[in-house]
Amino acid sequence: MAHRTLKRVPLDFDWPLGQEWEGYVNPHKTLDCPSCDMTGYNEATRGIASKGFDEFTQDEVDALAKVERLRSNDTDTPLENPTAEKVNVLHKAGLIKIDEMVRYVLLKARAERFGVYGYCPECDGSREVFEDEETKRLHHSWKEYEPPIGEGWQLWETVSDGSPLSPAFASVEELADWSAKNDSSGLNREQWLELFREGKEAVEASSIMSLSK
């Protein structure tokens, strides 16, 4: 079941259903960094990454072993006492798990060995830049805020930053009726009521619970 949250909002709260609440979305947008292809790395580090990792050196194997990322494809158990020779044989046979964390550790170890590891000088590793300094200032000073609190009962989703799923109702019973008919969870009216009422004391603080399954 997707994550759901119950909120108390004004009965005339009319924020569009399914649209992320404006208080959860920073309006001062960032841009993709044009200097590093959204990698966050400097040119030399990107050059190493572009060549791939067909063969591992012992220092790279040691770096992977240190964070327990050397694993075969058929087990989640880290390899014991790995050597570059053993790992390269397994790797060439397609028996070593290669995921994003493995690539990151390999890249960092190799770039550091060559003395070139570093972040993009324009975005400092964030992979994002701003149109101007004022936008940057506004972006970093912006604070998230909740929707207004009121007498209504409303179902929200929290898969995104957060958006309302239902209209605001005057009672949890009405909301339970609506949820049983319209929500994709498959819960019936009584199940919704039980979940809503379990969190009734905390409702007064606005956002009360995640209904997950």
Enter the pTM of the model.
Answer: 0.66
Give SS3 for 87. Answer: helix
How confident is the model at residue 205, as a pLDDT?
31
Residue 185, pLDDT score = 80
Q: How far is CA 57 from the centre of its chain?
A: 32
Residue ranges covered by each domain of the chain: 4-26+144-210, 43-113
Q: How far apart are CA 62 and CA 70, in angstroms?
A: 9
Longest Cα pair distance anywhere in the chain, in angstroms? 69
Q: Do the Cβ atoms of 24 and 207 come closer than 8 Å?
A: no
Query: According to the model, what pLDDT value does residue 207 have?
Result: 33
Whether the Cβ atoms of residue 179 and residue 192 lie closer than 8 Å to each other: yes
The residues, ordered by sequence, that sit 6+ positions from 124 with a Cβ below 8 Å of its Cβ are: none
Q: Report helix, strand or coil for 152.
A: strand
For the record, the structure tokens of 41 come out as 């790395």
pLDDT at 13: 97
pLDDT (0 to 100) of residue 212: 39
Tokens of 111: 């770039």
pLDDT score, position 77: 83
Instruction: Divide the 213 residues of the chain into consecutive groups of 10 and give the mean pLDDT of each group.
Output: 82 96 96 96 97 94 92 83 93 91 96 98 96 96 97 91 95 94 88 78 35 40
Residue by residue, DSSP assigns 129-153 as: E-SSHHHHHHHHH----PPPP-SEE
Q: Give the separation between CA 200 and CA 190, rounded to whole angstroms.
A: 15
Nearest to 162 by CA among 12, 26, 1, 4: 4
